[in-house]
Amino acid sequence: MNFIDSKFSIVRNQWIWGFSVGAESWNGRLAMLSFTIIFLCELIFSVSTLKILGLI
């Protein structure tokens, strides 16, 4: 990995509001975290998430 690649990865992982280079990375990370939390809630309570929230 050269200097340009390491500089790009640092910029890509920074938390910058709005449209930025790292926005797609953060969106993906937060989506994976949300999916995991929802999956664990459904697994623990044996009820769908919509039912837990009272939407069904």
Q: Would you list the domain boundaries of the chain?
A: 22-55
Q: Using CA atoms, how far apart are residues 56 and 53, in angstroms rounded to an integer?
A: 8
Q: What pLDDT shows up at residue 40?
A: 92
Q: Which one-letter DSSP state was computed for residue 56? A: -
Q: Which one-letter DSSP state was computed for residue 46? A: S
Please write the tens of the pLDDT for every residue from 5-54: 555 566 666 666 777 777 788 888 999 999 999 999 899 988 888 887 88
Residue 6 in tokens: 């390491």
Q: Using CA atoms, how far apart are residues 4 and 44, in angstroms rounded to an integer?
A: 45
Q: What pLDDT shows up at residue 6?
A: 57
* Model pTM score: 0.60
Q: What pLDDT shows up at residue 10?
A: 60
Q: What pLDDT shows up at residue 12?
A: 66
The residue assigned the tokens 């709005």 is 18
Q: Which one-letter DSSP state was computed for residue 27? A: H
